[in-house]
Chains A and B, each alone.
Chain A
Amino acid sequence: MHSGGFPWLSLLLVLPLVGAAAMYVVTESAARWIALAATLADLCIALPLWWLFDPQASQMQFTEHIAWITAPPIYYSLGLDGISLPLVLMTVAIMPLCVLASWTAITTRVQGFMAMLLIMETAMVGVFVALDFVLFYIFWEAMLIPMYLLIGVWGGPNRLYAAIKFFLYTLAGSVLLLVAIFTLYFYGGHTFDILALSQGTYPASLQMWLFLAFFAAFAVKVPMFPFHTWLPDAHVEAPTAGSVILASILLKMGTYGFLRFSLPMLPDASRSFTPIMVALSIVAIIYGAYMALAQVDLKKLIAYSSVSHMGFVTLGIFVLNQQGIEGAVLQMVNHGITTGALFLCVGMIYERTHSRLIADNVGLASPMPQYATLLVIFALSSLGLPGTNSFVGEFLVLVGTFLWSKVATAFASLGIILAAAYILWMIQRVVFGVPLPHQLPKLKDLNRRELATLVPLALLVFWIGLFPNPLVSRMHQSVNSMIASMSRAKVAPTTQLSAGEAAPLLADGGQPLTTEGISR
């Protein structure tokens, strides 16, 4: 039964799998083209959703609902709202670029590599569109194996350690999620329907436990501050496409989990944990930036900057107001574009010099002007320069944080200053330093394939930076309804917040700062 007419979302999920299956019978060069075709086809299916999506509606769109397992009732249930739409679009937009980035970088077992990329795509899109909690969990866990293989088979010298660390951390994080899902099933009226569970009410003490169980799964994936140690290893060892997928999409699954499950299902616990979550986010922002400052490896630098930027996302989510959450969703997309692009840049220079060390890649401006230009664009976007995408997102997050606490805003802003420091220092050396003579002969500027990989992302940087309104307006209703459903929690709040602090939770305090103001 398709209440939304054409099964767009199923098509999105099935197409990459068809491509992956085809890998078993094709040659290496054909594998690249088939993967590109499959990911592009997915993009072509997803793009119309942008226009077909009704920004005025707060409910799920393009829904599909088919009975799958009868006892207990589990449905193959899909749908999109204003929060998942940007993430799905970002995912399908990033994937063809990952294929392009691997075009010459991957030379062994190309078919297998492309198959893993395509399976990843299905799992990741599945996470963002699943409306049944079990289905969500299946997609959530299904991406572990392809990512494990991507890192472990095609990764760097220390890949075995990084792959198993990634695998065990994320698996251990999400085991409690399954218990939490079962508990919700029995308390929430024997259903796994995410929307129905979001409507339910749960005892305050139960909410606390469930929140912690969710937290374990989502915080490891984000990764939030004390759970981040797998990330630099995984990033450094993964092939370029793997790093891009990790940074751009996988990390978003954690913050998406907070938005889709923790907030609407456990509003009271979310409120109670807000101070801790904000504190952890700010620690991540400052710690990540500080660690980035000390890195000599470009990939590690960007990996730690990821920890810092994801801190802004969790900060925006847990200040629990419209500006914060919209900023967080926007920042999820921005981080996907910007950090993904930076990892692609590192991959391209690594293909030329076979080193990721900053010291080995200095003064690229004169031998590689196009590359240097694009790198500067993404780097400036990463530090949140006005006119680029990250500025809008970080600004919204900080506005939301300001409504929650001025002190927290001050500390979070520190992260921006540190970001400026590590990014500008990195640019200074990589772009404007004195070129190393022995590296110069190897440095050829970007070819057409590489330009085709980076230019679309640069366009997105400016498009979101200058005209964020189309994107923000599409998430407006969904965020609104989420906050509304949070504020009408039926269980007496156990939060210790004073009345003054609690007021912005209801998003009333933020009226004057509309998003329209920012887009101009």
Chain B
Amino acid sequence: MSLYGTDLLALLPELIVVAAACLVIALDPITPASRRDLLAWLSLGALALCLGLTGGQISTLNVRVSAFSDLVVIDAYARFWKVLLYGVTGLTILMSLPYLKAERIHLGEYYGFILLALSGMMVMVSGADLLTIYLGTELMSLSLYVMTGLNRSKPRSLEAAAKYFVLGAFSSGILLYGISLLYGMAGSTKLASIASAIGTHGANDPLVLIATILVAVGFSFKLAAVPFHMWTPDVYQGAPTSVTAFMAVAAKAASFAAFMRVFVEGLGGLKADWSLLFLLIALVTLVLGNVVAIVQTNIKRMLAYSSIAHAGYALIGFVAAGRAGGPSGSTPGLASVMIYLALYSFMTLGAFAVIGMLRKGEREGEEIEDFTGLAKRQPLAAFLMLVFMVSLAGIPPTAGFIGKFYVFMAAVDAGLAWLAAIALLFAAVSAYYYMRVVMVMYMREPDSAAVAPRLVTSPTLSFVLACAVAGVILFGLFPNPLVSFALQSVLTLK
């Protein structure tokens, strides 16, 4: 395989991110601790460059372009996710600056790892070959394992990293096993070849079904879908908050992106089988996620279960895409997942940003009780948290409602009105635990004896919060641009 200039050009954003990551890691030892901020700004510069490049590709790459002999594709679908990932990564870096300093873990390599994880995610969303996608997944996961354990002075952080690593490696193994079975059937790991092999083999080959189930299980781990969610609460709670935010948003988005491409482009012939499988997974995911979240007292754990539940909602859109008939029947379902995850990013990032701000003495205030009376002491922060919680609960006129609107509409369109009804009932259940955060902030008097939590504010964090709240409110009121972006992007996925 020879490298062509055009291939490299197509992958320019990925190359830039990798180069920036290497540069950051190389510069880290020779950068004095006081000037480590520069590494963050360097990373942000790389992201801005990539955003420009990917944005520029809109005019030249309106159709599907593949590179490296069909190992990766650069299409509108990948572009949608990449733009989202750049935004999320950029905001995470800005959020990390004050947070890492407050936690005394401001390490330069952190930004390198974020960029490496991002490059893995970019490969995931662009991969047209199971092995490419697998490599991207591993690059992302390995970076996240390290970032999870970054707070070496905190046993919880180390425990989380160990748990995440063991279970993550386990899920990768399952995924890889599924991939190898598919390779055995199709003689290739390219999604297109697998799709045509399924077309000729017939969908009833037991080997194909087993492979599909293994791949589904592997991805379900990454999506934190029940019953493969066990790692999520511990890891979300133990990881530094900025890393948790990054995992909850970016890793989830990238996993969904790759997952949908694999199942639609590669395993589209097995729609009937996997839509039933994911229907069941979606159902138990949203039930368990929402019910267990109720009893959590730690807000990061609560958001971990809530993120499980949100994966359940997003899966409903995907199930609807699998169930819908007609040539373009799956478009609304797939687009609804994209819209959902994009909107979910804003509110989750915002919520984690507020959590990251809250300090109780030397520690992070991460118990729900720590938010008691916040409305009196910090009315603006409490109001922002209120907006994010309301949005996560899916109450209009916030972005969270728009996300649910499209997912459930796709479900009803696909004849799954009953599923939408169940999901909405559990959305009402979820309102209970989101509103409890609002309750402690607004309706409880702070305990005067306890150490009053305070807020560590910084200009970068204010910027992140402003972006998050603007996204939640503006997309709640004017979702048109995002919706049409998603609807156009999904058309290249076939």
Contact = CB atoms under 8 A, between A and B. Distances in A.
A182 B424 CA distance: 13
A152 B443 contact: yes
Interface in A49-80: 69-72
Contacts of A141: 395-396, 401
B443 A163 contact: yes
A186 B439 contact: no
A160 B439 contact: yes
A159 interface: yes
Q: Tell me the interface secondary structure of chain A in the complex.
A: helix
Interface of A: 69-72, 112, 134, 137-138, 141-142, 144-145, 148-149, 152-153, 159-160, 163-164, 167-168, 171-172, 175-176, 178-179, 182-183, 185-186, 213
B483 interface: yes
A168 B408 contact: no
Contacts of A137: 396
A159 B444 CA distance: 11
A152 B442 contact: yes
Contacts of A153: 375, 442-443
6 contacts: A145-B386, A149-B442, A152-B439, A176-B424, A179-B412, A183-B417
Interface string B407-432: 01100110001001100110110011
Nearest to B376: A109
B395 A178 contact: no
Contacts of A152: 439, 442-443
Contact of B417 (A71, A72, A160, A182): A182
Interface in B434-448: 435-436, 438-439, 442-444
B282 to A, nearest CB: 16
A423 B424 CA distance: 42
A167 B409 contact: no
Given A160-B439, A182-B420, A144 B484 contact: no
Given A137-B396, A142-B396, A185 B409 contact: yes
Interface in B369-417: 375, 379, 386, 390, 395-397, 401, 405, 408-409, 412-413, 417
Given A179-B417, A182-B408, A167 B424 contact: no
A138 B396 contact: yes
Interface of B: 375, 379, 386, 390, 395-397, 401, 405, 408-409, 412-413, 417, 420-421, 424-425, 427-428, 431-432, 435-436, 438-439, 442-444, 479-480, 483-484, 487
B409 A72 contact: yes
A153 B375 CA distance: 10
A164 B435 contact: yes
Contacts of B409: 72, 182, 185
Contact of A160 (B375, B431, B443): B443
A70 B405 CA distance: 14
B424 A178 contact: yes
B333 to A, nearest CB: 13
A207 to B, nearest CB: 14
A185 B480 CA distance: 19
A145 B408 CA distance: 22
A351 B421 CA distance: 45
Nearest to A111: B379
- The residue in A145, A179, A182, A183 that gathers the most chain B C-beta atoms within 10 A of its C-beta is A179
A213 B401 CA distance: 19
A69 B480 CA distance: 6
